[in-house]
Amino acid sequence: MSRILVIESSARQQGSVSRQLTEQFIAQWRAANPADTLTVRDLAANPVPHLDANLLGGWMTPSEQQSEAEKAALALSNTLTDELLAADVLVLAAPMYNFAIPSTLKAWLDHVLRAGVTFKYTENGPQGLLGGKRAVVLTARGGIYAGSAMDHQEPYLRQALAFVGIHDVSFIHAEGLNLGNEFMQRGLAQATAQVAQLA
């Protein structure tokens, strides 16, 4: 039995292509793996705070010296990190906003990329602690950016995931969604076919 953690980050609840791909993935995964546990965290419906002094204080201040705000920030970070630690498969659903990921997804990453928990520093440099996990990234893009210098999504997410030891990462891009009906239909068809193969 595997545990799947799905992170939604589209600001839209309706009409979101990344959510459409996620729904397809979840339905197919559940059909093929009914015993698996699936957890969905929606960062638009329940956004996590951006990195701030309270979270830094919660990480760096001894528990007996923490303020109530620092304790609350640390408790949320612990919850998010525990969800990731428990997962065998991580699914990130990310529309492209201004050539990169939504700020809500960046905030989630800031909570879970934690020294001593998901990575550690060694004499040979940082070492990820989440080896053996698999990740799937589902993106939605108005233009066509894969492999171009304007794509700051895939390189950043690959680096962030590799930093914590997740190297088995599959990207599925629904591209050209704002370039007219022909491009949109082609981009959606390619992405849904890839999801079907993956799940």
For the record, the structure tokens of 38 come out as 């699936």
Task: Burial-class residue 109 by CB neighbours within 10 Å (0-12, 13-18, 19+).
Answer: buried
Positive or negative CA dihedral for 188, 193, 197, 199? positive
Architecture of domain 3-198: 3-Layer(aba) Sandwich (3.40)
Q: In 3D, which of 41, 43, 40 has the Cα closest to residue 12?
A: 43
pTM confidence score:
0.95
* Mean local confidence (pLDDT), 160-164: 98
* Mean local confidence (pLDDT), 151-174: 97
Give 199's pLDDT tier (boundaries 50, 70, 90): low
Q: Over the chain, what is the mean pLDDT? A: 96
Q: What single letter denotes the amino acid at residue 90?
A: L
CB 134 within 8 A of CB 168: yes
CA 29 to CA 11: how far, in whole Å?
A: 24
* Mean local confidence (pLDDT), 85-92: 98
